[in-house]
């Protein structure tokens, strides 16, 4: 199914759906119950983490990191900028590279994949400050708004291609598993999980084919999320908490560093960790079923499936305001 979605996106198809109309009709009541439960909580407005991290390493030339996507990329659900995924990734990247990192947020709360064109233009608006690496976290709102999956992945593919053409490395955090959301009940939970994973696999295929790397967010990167929803979900029972974002960032940081050539194990495969070279579609399907898995392009149509070793994130340090702070994610 993921390969069909990706092919439909590449050749202009738009009619490949994941859910039949009859199934949607049966689930409308549960959808309304879930919406009331989610909206019953209050997520704080997202802080603005834009700025320079790792200033202890100045006068080194800073790395430029941009985040694109939806409220997950912005960090909605937490109250301090140091708890957002952008700040966590920038602090971690600065510590590994021993260079300052300039963070810029182009993501927007509530964004869907069709907003990536605008966000990409924002990230690339200054030709003299093209990001060294861009992180894209998108997909959940496409599922909840029933956007045709071919349209979603077509927009993602175009964004990755444009960023790569500009010279930026790209890491895509694929669609999270909406079946882990606490207010969602069966059979909607099963359907949400299936739809999320199929979209995540299709995102992996198109991102890798355009020269990017992906990390499957799944149940937000580990069994901790399903086992500890009270700790890893925010107060609205939908967005992650500070602990949830830290879990996600810790799993994405190794891929971010590997994309920039900073990770010591590079792309060497470890068979005992069930890593290997697989056809892209096969690797995408396996990654969608195991959160925290990286997929990187090799020789077409092959891809590397990796489970990178995670490292503890350094304590986040407040960013120094820079010109990048002019970009403010909307609420």
> Is-catalytic flag, 60?
no
Catalytic residue among 50, 70, 71, 142: 71
Query: What is the DSSP secondary-structure string of 238-290?
Result: SSB-HHHHHHHHHHHHHHHHHHTT--TTTT---GGGT-EEEEHHHHHHHHHHS
Sort 130 into a burial class: Cβ within 10 Å, 0-12 / 13-18 / 19+.
middle
Cis peptide, bond prior to residue 187, ω within 30 of zero: yes
| Residue 39: Cβ within 10 Å count | 13
Please tell me the distance from the alpha carbon of residue 35 to that of residue 28, in angstroms, as a whole number: 11
Task: List beta partners, residue 218.
Answer: 176
Catalytic residue among 37, 60, 114, 236: 236
The token pair that represents 164 in the structure block: 């790569």
Catalytic residue among 81, 142, 196, 239: 239
Query: What is the DSSP secondary-structure string of 42-63?
Result: -PPPPP---EEE-GGGTTSPPE
Q: Are 207 and 213 in contact (CB under 8 A)?
A: yes
Q: Are 287 and 208 in contact (CB under 8 A)?
A: no
Task: List beta partners, residue 146.
Answer: none
Please tell me the distance from the alpha carbon of residue 139 to that of residue 153, in angstroms, as a whole number: 9
Please tell me the distance from the alpha carbon of residue 306 to that of residue 53, in angstroms, as a whole number: 28
> Is-catalytic flag, 145?
no
Helix (DSSP H) and strand (DSSP E) numbers for the chain: 12, 9
End-to-end alpha carbon distance in the chain: 34
> Is-catalytic flag, 239?
yes
Active-site residues, by number, are 71, 236, 239
């Amino acid at each position: 199914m993921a390969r069909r979605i990706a092919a439909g996106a590449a050749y202009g198809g738009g009619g490949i759906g994941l859910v039949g109309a009859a199934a949607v009709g049966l689930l409308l009541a549960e959808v309304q119950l879930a919406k009331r439960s989610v909206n019953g909580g209050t997520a704080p407005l997202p802080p603005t983490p834009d700025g320079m991290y790792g200033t202890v390493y100045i006068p080194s030339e800073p790395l430029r990191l941009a985040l694109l996507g939806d409220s997950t990329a912005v960090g909605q659900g937490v109250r301090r900028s140091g708890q957002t995924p952008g700040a966590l990734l920038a602090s971690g990247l600065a510590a590994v590279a021993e260079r300052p990192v300039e963070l810029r947020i182009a993501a927007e709360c509530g964004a869907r994949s069709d907003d990536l064109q605008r966000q990409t233009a924002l990230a690339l608006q200054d030709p003299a400050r093209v990001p060294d690496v861009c992180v894209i976290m998108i997909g959940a709102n496409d599922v909840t708004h029933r956007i045709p999956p071919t349209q979603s992945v077509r927009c993602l593919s175009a964004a990755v291609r444009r960023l790569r053409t500009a010279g930026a490395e790209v890491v895509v955090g694929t669609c999270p598993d909406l079946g882990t959301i606490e207010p969602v009940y069966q059979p909607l939970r099963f359907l949400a999980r299936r739809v999320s994973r199929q979209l995540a696999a299709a995102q992996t295929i198109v991102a890798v084919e355009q020269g990017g790397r992906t990390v499957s967010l799944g149940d937000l990167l580990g069994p901790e999320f399903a086992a500890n929803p009270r700790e890893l979900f925010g107060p609205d029972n939908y967005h992650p908490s500070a602990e949830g974002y830290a879990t996600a960032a810790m799993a994405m940081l190794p891929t971010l560093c590997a994309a920039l050539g900073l990770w010591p194990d590079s792309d060497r495969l470890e068979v005992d960790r069930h890593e290997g070279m697989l056809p892209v579609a096969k690797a995408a399907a396996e990654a969608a079923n195991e959160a925290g898995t990286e997929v990187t392009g090799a020789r077409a149509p092959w891809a590397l499936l990796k489970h990178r070793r995670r490292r503890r994130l350094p304590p986040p340090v407040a960013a120094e305001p820079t010109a990048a702070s002019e970009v403010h994610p909307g609420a």
